[in-house]
Amino acid sequence: MVVVGDVGGCSEQLKRVVGPLVAEPGTVVVQVGDLVDRGPDSAGVLAFVRERLEGDRRRWVQLIGNHEAPYVGGESFWPEPLGEAEAGLLRSWWLREWMRVAVAVRTADGEELLITHAGLSRDAWRDLGAPVTAGTAAALLNTRPEPLLFSYEGPLWAEAGQIYPSWLGGLERLPFSQVHGHSTIVSFDRRTWLCEERIRWRSTVDWQARHTETQVPGGRFVGVDPKHGLAGAPEWAPLVLPGAEVIS
């Protein structure tokens, strides 16, 4: 299983890095959303994903990001909207439930991970009913609960710099680990930190793969947004979870 961070219209980076992986029998890809906007070829990204979804959807799990949200009920915010064909494709995936809010996986060593676009803060987790397993949290999120779904504090919009501190202090521990895209606590290009000190000393960075890992009481957060920007990251990699399986 591989978890692919935000693509942001950078089709060449997606094809170059992820293409060989999906060609291997048995590989399951989870993509965390933000397929479109910013980069040069949103249409090419959607065409690549469409081929996988129309082939074997057991091998490509597509999540929704905030950049897909305006086409399925969220507020418009990006100044350059998609063409009608691309927007219609996203709407069809949403209506068919080919695009989800969350997925839960279990790693080979038994760790449960909730994968969403932006992650769940403590307040959002409480609003969801305080689920105790990643599988239950994913199932609840996939009922598309509004207004939480499209809230700026919700799983499509919340920032890592807000989510991680929300799980420090208090009586409740992180009930399950989380993987997310959308934002990061570092600048990969400048190799500098963008978070407060108490988050920094809990975190490690893979600068080549463009991943971060932050330990909090009860579990960990793994950030996988490579921050492709306008032209794509020169070097990046998906998060590989050997032997993991989808549980929700």
Contact of 148 with 154, CB cutoff 8 Å: yes
Q: pLDDT tens across 79-136, in order?
A: 999 999 999 999 999 999 999 999 999 999 999 999 999 999 999 999 999 999 999 9
Average pLDDT score over residue span 202-211: 98
Query: Sheet holding 245-246: strands in order across?
Result: 203-206, 211-216, 219-223, 177-180, 112-115, 103-106, 245-246
Does position 23 have pLDDT exceeding 90, yes or no? no
Of 248, 245, 239, the residue nearest 3 (C-alpha): 239
Residue percentage of the chain with pLDDT more than 70: 100
Question: What is the pLDDT confidence band of residue 171, given thresholds at 50, 70 and 90?
Answer: confident
What are 53-77's pLDDT values in tens digits?
999 999 999 999 999 999 999 999 9
Whether pTM exceeds 0.95:
yes
